Amino acid sequence: MEKKLAVVALGGNALLRGDQLGTIDEQEQNTTETLENLIFLINEGYDLVITHGNGPQVGNILMRNDAGEQLYNIAQMPLDICVADSQGGIGYMIERMFKNVLNKHGINKNVICIVTEVLVDINDPAFSDPQKRVGKIYTREQAEELGSKKGWIFKEEVKTQGGYRRVVPSPVPLDVVNKSIIQDLARKGNIVIAAGGGGVPVYIDEKNDVRPAEAVIDKDLASSLLANLIGADEFYILTDVPYIYINYKKPDQEIKEFLNYSDTLKYLNDGQFAKGSMAPKIQACLNFIKQGGHKSVITEAFKLADKKYGSKITMEYEDDRR
């Protein structure tokens, strides 16, 4: 009997908590605590593919880019290289921490990180309407200078301390390069880390060459796509809340532990989920179910193994209490 395959997307406080500086010690500790929660999936016979976010980390890489250019005249690297850089660094950290966790539990498995390209359409409408904020905050004068010099687009930061941040497109992921290799490695029992930060966005030009796209891809949408492409049975998003809620932070807030596809879609369309945080996660889970996945789960990073937590979405209601 073939084992179940699960794709687990690490996000929220799985790697870095909001009140932390982001030191490597903090990230390694958070990662280790999160990965401890995945041991029960291995013990229950699951093959695993792990994806992860990179928001804070790639932001720091971009700021190092800026500092290097301004202080030492070091050439800046484009966004695709920065995303790949973060994939390699975070993937290495997850790989090493997971090997140590497996060793602690006496489990002998290979763990491998794959720097992953994700295909997008260069004519995606997102390229004409960039919205995703990246990098540091600049003054108006700095933003105007960089916009003129590099062609970057900036938007005002109205919800924080002011200033301007660069915005880039966030196109829809269409395909995952090397998906068959990821699937083959995972089905042979290896733990694969892939599609970090949504993957490096690339497109195919008129010569059929692979070209980089100056963009970032939503991590959860890319993870959901990968899960479908490799025939995963289940899709997990580990974030900073233990459940899906409706009427979140209101007097009539309600936990939704078991959801079906149609009700979840209705909640999404009714605006129950914040566009910048939970809505993309819900959409990713719905995409997975619609394309044939059996179950999507959203829960807090450190509570996956505790079966009383987590919201489960299936095509029809399914109270399995797992």
Among this protein's residues, is 281 annotated catalytic? Answer: yes
Which residue's entry shows tokens 């900073």? 240
Distance, in Å, from the CA atom of 85 to the CA atom of 83, rounded to the nearest integer, reads: 5
| The token pair that represents 10 in the structure block | 């690490």
In this structure, are residues 176 and 182 in contact, taking their beta carbons and an 8 Å threshold? yes
Q: Which amino acid is at 139?
A: T
Among this protein's residues, is 109 annotated catalytic? Answer: no
Q: Is residue 64 classed as helix, strand or coil in its secondary structure?
A: helix
CA angle 292, 294, 297 (to 5 degrees): 120
| The token pair that represents 144 in the structure block | 């105007």
Residue in 132, 136, 256, 303 annotated catalytic: 132
Among this protein's residues, is 91 annotated catalytic? Answer: no
Strand order in the sheet with 191-193: 111-113, 191-193, 47-52, 5-10, 234-239, 295-300, 311-314, 258-260
Residue in 13, 54, 65, 287 annotated catalytic: 13
Among this protein's residues, is 219 annotated catalytic? Answer: yes
Residue in 135, 198, 219, 310 annotated catalytic: 219
Q: Is 192 exposed, middle or buried (0-12, 13-18, 19+ CB in 10 A)?
A: buried
Residue in 12, 89, 91, 199 annotated catalytic: 12
| The token pair that represents 202 in the structure block | 């690339």
Residue in 11, 55, 281, 287 annotated catalytic: 281
Among this protein's residues, is 45 annotated catalytic? Answer: no
Active site positions, annotated: 12-13, 132, 219, 281
